[in-house]
Amino acid sequence: MLFQVEMDVKIPHGMDAAVLDDLKVRERVRAQDLQRTGVWRHLWRVVGQYRNTSIFDVGSAAELHDILMSLPLFPFMEIQVTALCRHPSSIHEDDR
């Protein structure tokens, strides 16, 4: 199942810089691991914001929920999820 996931990161003002740096490093490692497995299929930064738009390929909404909760920055995110399906006018043979 494909999902579009929009993640808006809201870091609390005054968060300790060392704690934030550690969170960012762990977030990058987790995101890159998920990309290597093909689960996190696309990742785009939204210009001028601490926000991204991503495409996930997972077996279920519950699996996506667990993955999102595993992200180190999850406690500081506002997330919107949209389920996707193939458009009948697409010229591509698959969803990749």
Tell me whether residue 28 is in a domain.
yes
| Residue 93 included in any domain | no
Domain region containing 78: 2-84
Per-residue pLDDT of the chain (96 residues; tens, 9 = 90+): 999 999 999 999 999 999 999 999 999 999 999 999 999 999 999 999 999 999 999 999 999 999 999 999 999 999 999 999 888 898 887 766
Query: What pairs with residue 45 in β-bridges?
Result: 52
Strand residue runs (E) in 10-76: 40-45, 51-57
Tell me the CB-side half-sphere exposure of residue 32, using CA atoms within 13 A: 6
* CATH number of the domain where residue 50 is located: 3.30.70.1060
> Does residue 25 sit within a domain?
yes
Contact 53, 41 (CB under 8 A): no
| Residue 92 within a domain | no
The predicted pLDDT at position 4 comes to 98
**How many domains does one find in the chain?**
1
**Position 6 in a domain:** yes
